[in-house]
Amino acid sequence: MPIATVNPANGETLRTFDALGADEIERRLAVADTAFRAYRTTGFGERSRLMNRAADLLDEDQQDIARTMTLEMGKPVGAARAEAAKCAKAMRWYASHAEGLLADEHPAPVDVEDSGASRAYVHYRPLGTVLAVMPWNFPLWQVVRFAAPALMAGNTGLLKHASNVPQTALYLGDLFRRAGFPEGCFQTLLVGSGAIEAILRDRRVAAATLTGSEPAGRAVAAVAGDEVKRTVLELGGSDPYLVLPSADVARAARVAVTARVQNNGQSCIAAKRFIVHTEVYEEFAERFTVGMRDLTVGDPLEESTDVGPLASEQGRTDLEELVDDAVRQGAGALCGGGRPEGLGGGLEHGWFYAPTVLTGITPAMRIHHEETFGPVASLYRVNSLDEAVELANDTPFGLSSNVWTRDAEESRRCVRDLEAGGVFFNGMTASHPALPFGGVKRSGYGRELAGHGIREFCNATTVWYGTEPQ
């Protein structure tokens, strides 16, 4: 895949970039390793100062970097600005909380008295240089939610970003440099996917984190496992959105529209399967379909646009194949079901797909089991909570879930029984710096964000004293 900015709204190639050669990759690995040996000894106060400076610069750059993201992968420009603001917020959160999250843990003396220790505690140390393989769909946020905790913990980072967002990738490397982080603390590597294995196998790379597709996760995990290196994987999702009889149906339907089409529907944590109890199904289906049909599809640089293009032509083709397979086997489209009509001004050459609601989904259809990465919703009718939970869990993925209910017992059942890394009640799934994020099953393993995320790339070191040094 070429390393290039191609505007998905009209198919125009805006910039192309050469991949780094072997000599330059070697130089950058060496610089990262050297930087880690010094940076790991800095105090939290200095790291916090640098991270806060990076957040300030990102705020100053918000308009420009939002436009860059929109031109590279098509998200509506308002959403791009919000993404930049969220990144600055996460940077400041880790700048404020990292020291406490990584504070030494001291078991009570009675808990270790039979270990023979006069004193024992757990101390967190950074691992080293971490390779981050990141996707295009949230080209700032996916990186920052790794980089902020990793850098605050004392690690250094190498970013291999998706090849269709090279300008955003280069911006990130430059951002941390401008903030004053020492040379080599965070570097962007413009390389193709074929270069990942050699970089990950290099002895100077301690660990890896990947957000992306299941095949990409399998490949990175296999190499890391062979090298016995730690990994965190955040892969696909096919999140259920349960609407039960006690729900506020009007609000559930309004939020469902946003939950499905956020980021043009290209989000691992977007709700994709809408599982609605028969008692409220007709009302929800009508409200949801009207909301999806009324969305404005168009130029993502226009403030009035709700849904922009898919990020790539292949992505649209993949989505079309899923929908066409379902329709051939009997599914119906309450709205959408194809490319939008009436787009002009060059947008007819872009990779747009109309917001779509499908019904009559069966297990024989690919869309029942595969992730839909675009503005297409699968709508199901169920007769009980048991049936809803069973259907929600009938997926190889387990990233997050959404439940609309005002019944306390139903909420307890869902917390107990839904196979997912998160359960969000009466609202849509969202990531937040203070809450751990990640999945189960084929959605990956490990956690990002919160204290769980910052400790993923730390060595939890047991410190034991038989007698105290003088």
Tokens at 338, concatenated: 């194809």
Residues making up the chain, counted from first to last: 470
Tokens at 230, concatenated: 């730690």
- What whole-number distance in Å separates Cα of residue 191 and Cα of residue 23? 12
Catalytic, out of 185, 268, 335, 458: 268
Residue 234 annotated to the active site: yes
Q: Check if the beta carbon of residue 403 is closer than 8 Å to that of residue 393.
A: no
Phi, then psi, of 423 in degrees rounded to 5: -130, 115
Contacts of 57-61 with CB under 8 Å at 24 or more apart are 57/175, 57/178, 57/179, 58/84, 58/87, 58/88, 58/91, 58/175, 59/84, 59/85, 59/88, 61/171, 61/175
Catalytic, out of 234, 370, 371, 410: 234
| Active-site residue set | 234, 268
